[in-house]
Amino acid sequence: MIDVKKLDRELLSVEKPARYVGSELNSVVKDKEKTSVRFAFAFPDVYEVGMSHTGLHILYHMLNSIENVWCERVFAPWTDMEEVMRKNSIPLYGLESKDELKEFDFIGFTLQYEMSYTNILNMLDLGGIPLKSKDRTDNMPIVIAGGPCAYNPEPLHEIVDLFTVGEAEELLPELLGIYEKEKLNGFNKLKFLEKASQLEGIYVPQFYEEVYNEDNTIKERKVLNNNAKDIITKRIIKDMDKVYYPDKSILPYIDVVHDRVVLELFRGCTRGCRFCQAGMVYRPVREKKSDTLVNQAESMLNSTGHDEISLTSLSSGDYSCLPDLTLKLLDKYENDNVSISLPSLRLDSMTFDIIQRLQEVRKSGLTFAPEAGTQRMRDVINKNLTEEQILGPVETAFKLGWSTVKLYFMIGLPGETMEDVLGIKELSYKIKDKFFARPKEEIKGNLKINSSASCFVPKPFTPFQWTAQNSIEEFYDKAKMLQREIKDKKVSFSYHEPKLSYLEAVFARGDRRLSKVLISAWEKGCRFDGWYDMFDFDKWMEAFNETNVDPDFFAKRQREITEVLPWDFIDVGVSKKYLISEYEKSLEAMTTHDCRLGCTNCGVNHRLIGGACPHVQNNK
Ligand code: SF4
């Protein structure tokens, strides 16, 4: 255990000490003498961000529901705390036991965002754990990682011992079971990794080697260990009604990003937006029954006292029992002032009756994500959203009294012209016109349209995985043109930092050669790169220079369809053939319909679930 008295003293000098103390309601403290596997769930960002992540609450309680396993939390200490820890030799520790990281069997990182990778290195270092897998001996913790970025694990191949690919609720207990047996037999890391690699969804990078062509593209991947599989297939949960879901969540002492009961309606998405990695890798759609969700809401509300329920999933409005579920929840909780929010709503798929009822409890602004300003561009990305489908609901919303609208767009989409970029202004202005087109006596409130543009990042396992990203200069040109052009006081425009999106693209589609860049950038002091104030682009460029790696090769290069991609050895179910055909259709601005309306043969049914998609089947 770390010196807790010393820690308490030093905490007086840092911002938000509650980030580092633990002991919150519903956190789990076990007797460590009675547990045989200790797991540190490591979130590579600050406490407030990590505690707002649903996956953390699910896996934390799921692991702690296993009698002999104790799962604790560890977050990235903010820079002030890091300084205090380094100055006073306080190692990074688990929040529940205050034991240092070295004492754990597993340190499990969740990879939500490429720009949190340097925090992983920093956390290992603060825990006194060697950064590279090869330098960690049998008596040191096993470093594992999962989450959305694990679909291209290669940039972290030197650091992480094993990756979990896909949904972890069933996989983690299996993995920990193997570990426990190995521990009883005298633990040998290599033997454990060999056994673990037999499990579906486990990837052990040290069992493979990447071989390159002269032009730096990948020639082949060699399997170096007989126990390792050629292809790693993602894990999926087949029955969402039976999968573990906690009946409580930890209640922080300080404000966190989201402070509410979260219900996960379903996993997957049938829409087929061509830029969206989540929409491809989480297929097929698997829904929970509304009764399951009502029961989960009840136990979560009882154990937390929250007054908000958030209905989440990739596109909540597509949940087939949405009216039934929201009405059931409203009837039950409306009088207790519990509000219900639907954060990822496509307004074309939702009746305003429900929205209006939800808003009676608590009113919030409206959010639309047209993603692109022109119809041609929306067809290229397969958004399947016409201008009428945007303006119609906006008009209804204005009639019902809304006056604040947030619009999300992307710039730098494949095949984009300046006319498409200007379309962002045009559409924002058309929405403004709808507000003022009504008779004067009907106009209420002060209209505010907040349009924002993020810079497009091509991601693995999407139809755009082969496309070149815009250069940083092109992004700035487009964003600044919009800033110049949008002059109306009712419409504001903001954009995301292009340099950050560029680095995100480098790591999203990077290969093994990026591990050394990452280590070099961290050594130069890069931390919390996703936090704009902390981001130091020049340090990153120095790291690329010193390691002789060209970042443009990963971000700005158009790939041939035939090129071996760093993530080709992972099978997410959706076939490459399907991604290619979607990519080719995008070049012609041809759309593909939502596969709820008829299967479009993405391949996931045959490859992962051996038949028709569960959701499509249920709807028949
Ligand atoms: S197999 Fe068909 S129905 Fe299932 S996700 Fe793919 S396209 Fe949709």
User: Ligand 1: which of 577, 605, 609 to mutate, judged by most atoms within 8 Å of the beta carbon?
Assistant: 605
612 lines ligand 1 (CB under 6 A): no
**Interstrand relation of 266-267 and 286-287 (parallel, antiparallel or unpaired):** antiparallel
For residue 348, the model assigns a pLDDT of 61
| 3-class secondary structure, 245 | coil
Burial class (CB in 10 A: 0-12, 13-18, 19+), 376: middle
Predicted pLDDT of residue 362 = 56
Q: Is 270 in the pocket of ligand 1 (CB under 6 A)?
A: yes
Q: What pLDDT does residue 351 have?
A: 63
pLDDT at 606: 82
Q: Which residues contact 91 (CB under 8 A, 6 or more apart)?
A: 2, 85, 100, 101, 102, 126, 127, 128
Assess whether pLDDT exceeds 90 at residue 435. Answer: yes
Encode pLDDT of 588-605 as tens digits: 999 999 999 999 999 998
Which protein residue has the closest C-alpha to ligand 1 atom 1?
605
Beta-carbon contacts of residue 114 (< 8 Å; ≥ 6 apart): 149, 155, 503, 504, 507, 508
Say whether pLDDT at 430 is over 80. yes
Between CA 57 and CA 68 the distance in angstroms is 19
Ligand 1 site, residue 605, Cβ cutoff 6 A: yes
Virtual torsion, Cα 48, 537, 120, 264, nearest 10 deg: 50
Q: Is the pTM of this model over 0.85?
A: yes
Instruction: Report the separation in Å between the CA atom of 34 and the middle of ligand 1, taken as the mean of its atom positions.
Output: 46
- What mean pLDDT do residues 412-420 have? 97
pLDDT more than 70, % of the chain: 95
Nearest atom (ligand 1) to Cα of 613: 4
**Average pLDDT of span 239-249:** 92
The CA 602 to ligand 1 mean position distance, Å, reads: 5
Q: How far is the CA of 141 from the centre of ligand 1 (A)?
A: 40
| Predicted confidence band of residue 260 (pLDDT cuts 50, 70, 90) | confident
pLDDT the model gives residue 338: 87
**CA 285 → CA 130, 533, 577, distances in Å?**
40, 38, 20
Report the nearest-CA residue for atom 8 of ligand 1. 595
Question: From the CB of residue 243, how many other CB atoms can be counted at a distance below 10 Å?
Answer: 18
Residue 53 has pLDDT above 70, yes or no: yes
Closest CA to 48 of 83, 24, 12: 24
Shortest CA distance to 522 belongs to which of 553, 546, 554?
Answer: 546
pLDDT, tens digit, 9 for 90 and up, residues 545-560: 999 999 999 999 999 9
- Ligand 1 in reach of 284 Cβ (< 6 A): yes
Q: Where are the alpha helices (DSSP H) in 185-281?
A: 189-196, 277-281
Model confidence over 90-99: pLDDT tens digits?
999 999 999 9
User: What is the rounded average pLDDT of the residues 271-292?
Assistant: 95
Question: For the chain, what percent of residues have pLDDT higher than 90?
Answer: 78
pLDDT grade for 121, boundaries at 50, 70 and 90: very high
Tell whether ligand 1 has an atom less than 6 A from the beta carbon of residue 572.
no
Q: Between 441 and 179, whose confidence is greater?
A: 179
Taken in order 287, 293, 294, 295, is the CA torsion positive or negative? positive
Q: What is the pLDDT of residues 442-459, one digit of tens each?
A: 888 899 999 999 999 999
The rounded mean pLDDT for the chain is: 93
Give the confidence band of 330 by pLDDT, cuts at 50, 70, 90. Answer: confident
CA distance linking residue 65 with residue 170, whole number of Å: 13
Q: Residue 345 Cα, ligand 1 centroid: separation in angstroms?
A: 21
Average pLDDT of the residues in 64-82: 97
Residues 162-184: pLDDT tens digits?
999 999 999 999 999 999 999 99
Higher confidence at residue 222 or residue 442? 222
- Cβ–ligand 1 contact at 385 (below 6 Å): no
Q: Which atom of ligand 1 is nearest to the CA of 595?
A: 8
CA dist 556 and 536 (Å) reads 20
CB of 608 sitting under 6 A from ligand 1: no
> Which token pair is 431?
């929405």
Q: Give the max Cα distance, the chain.
A: 80
Q: What is the pLDDT of residues 457-503, one digit of tens each?
A: 999 999 999 999 999 999 999 999 999 999 999 999 999 999 999 99
Kindly indicate the confidence band of residue 316, based on its pLDDT and cuts at 50, 70 and 90: confident
**In this structure, how many other beta carbons lie within 10 angstroms of the beta carbon of residue 219?**
12
Q: Is the pLDDT of residue 238 over 70?
A: yes
Query: CB count, 10 Å around CB of 434?
Result: 20
Reported as a single tens digit per residue, the pLDDT across 349-369 is: 556 667 766 666 555 677 888
pLDDT surpassing 70 at residue 56: yes
pLDDT bucket at 619, cuts 50 / 70 / 90? low
616 close to ligand 1 (CB < 6 Angstrom): yes
Structure token pair of residue 609: 């679930």
pLDDT of residue 402: 84
Task: Look at ligand 1, atom 6, and give the residue with the nearest C-alpha.
Answer: 602
**How would you write 341-402 as a 3-class SS string?**
ECCCCCHHHCCHHHHHHHHHHCCCCEEEEEECCCHHHHHHCCCCCCHHHHHHHHHHHHHCCC
pLDDT surpassing 80 at residue 347: no
Say what the pLDDT of residue 401 is. Answer: 82
Place of tokens 């006194």: 128
What pLDDT score does 345 carry?
A: 63
Pocket test for ligand 1, best of 592, 604, 618 (most atoms within 8 A of CB): 604
